[in-house]
């Protein structure tokens, strides 16, 4: 289990379920659109904002997991060096 924050343990499961819902809707919307579809401004704005939000979460989690992985490798390396 990856504990990335101080929140409840089941948050990962909940977010994964939400992401599957987003994926389902995104695929459906993509099927409905054509390259030359003319959409209202509010639709464009909502999609751009949603993309920005998902990108922010992706960047945060990727960075946090990378940092923890790097930190664990450094700790293991230091322990190994001390034993020699």
What is the tens place of the pLDDT at every residue in 20-76?
999 999 999 999 999 999 999 999 999 999 999 999 999 999 999 877 776 666 666
Cut 0.75: pTM above it: no
| Residue 6 included in any domain | no
Residue 34, pLDDT score: 97
Distance CA 55, CA 22 (A): 13
| Residue 39 included in any domain | yes
Distance CA 11, CA 1 (A): 11
Q: What range defines the domain where residue 41 resides?
A: 11-83
Residue 69, pLDDT score: 72
Distance CA 1, CA 6 (A): 13
| Residue 16 included in any domain | yes
- Report the number of distinct structural domains present in the chain: 1
Sole residue written with tokens 């499961």: 13
């Amino acid at each position: 289990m990856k504990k990335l924050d101080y929140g409840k343990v089941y948050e990962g499961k909940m977010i994964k379920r939400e992401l599957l819902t987003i994926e389902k809707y995104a695929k459906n919307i993509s099927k409905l659109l054509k390259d030359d579809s003319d959409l209202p401004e509010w639709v464009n704005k909502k999609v751009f904002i949603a993309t920005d939000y998902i990108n922010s979460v992706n960047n945060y989690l990727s960075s946090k997991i990378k940092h923890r992985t790097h930190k664990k490798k450094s700790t293991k390396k230091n322990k190994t060096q001390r034993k020699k």
